[in-house]
Amino acid sequence: MDTLLLCSAYLPPVSFFTAINSGGDVLIEQYDNYCKQTYRNRCRIATASGVQTLTIPIVKADTPKQLMKDVRISDHGDWRRQHWNALESAYMNSPFFMYYQDDFRTFYEKKYDFLIDFNTELTLRIMELAGIKKNLRMTGSYGNTESGNQGIIDLRDLIEPGKGEPNNPKTYWQVFKQKHGFLPNLSAVDLLFNMGPEFSCYI
């Protein structure tokens, strides 16, 4: 199967894992320029008030452009505690949060220097819990051009909000579905906490 080329993302959306599940090995781009307003440092979850965006603060670069692999996480605003409290509040009543909470809490208790390391380890944890058995590695250059891009499907635009979302998304049970209707393509933890072992059946 073709190798999939994806950008790094924080608690990536469901479409990210749907793509991973459909292909072969996974390449995570680390030589792209960091861009704001993408899922590189933000994710979307469902709360009692609707969709909430969680954003990881980053250290401002000294240059206009910065490679993703060099982006450092800032400790500004006690974001780790805030993000974990938001996840706990949003999903404490979901069917499977209690089973998975310890798998994720540790990520918000440990300090990571680089955003790509934090994102990658979270992605691998979701893959593990969802039973997705794919080899994941980082690019050696931009777009992994040393291999000539043969057998590589470029899906790096999936981390741009609004991209890769199906017109008629397959629905699943959500905690606040009765209040807000089905909210598509949230962070994959929404699917995991709500559907548990059925995660792979949905994607």
Tens of pLDDT, residue by residue over 5-62, are 999 999 999 999 999 998 889 999 999 999 988 999 999 999 999 999 999 999 988 8
- Contact between residue 93 and residue 192 where contact means Cβ atoms under 8 Å apart: no
pLDDT tens digits along 148-164: 556 888 999 877 877 66
pLDDT digits (tens, 9 = 90+) for 182-197: 999 999 999 999 999 9
Question: What pLDDT is stored for residue 23 in this prediction?
Answer: 81
pLDDT of residue 20: 93
Residue 15: which domain range?
3-202
What is the signed CA dihedral for 198, 128, 7, 52, rounded to 10 degrees?
50
Question: What residues contact 51, with CB distance under 8 A and at least 6 apart?
Answer: 44, 45, 183, 186
CA distance 124 to 130: 10
Question: What is the tally of structural domains in the chain?
Answer: 1
pLDDT of residue 145: 52
Q: Each residue of 81-133: pLDDT tens digit?
A: 999 999 999 999 999 999 999 999 999 999 999 999 999 999 999 999 999 99
User: 74: how many CB neighbours lie within 10 A of its CB?
Assistant: 12
CB under 8 A, 24+ apart: contacts of 142-145:
142/29, 142/31, 142/32, 143/5, 143/29, 143/31, 144/5, 144/27
pLDDT of residue 24: 87
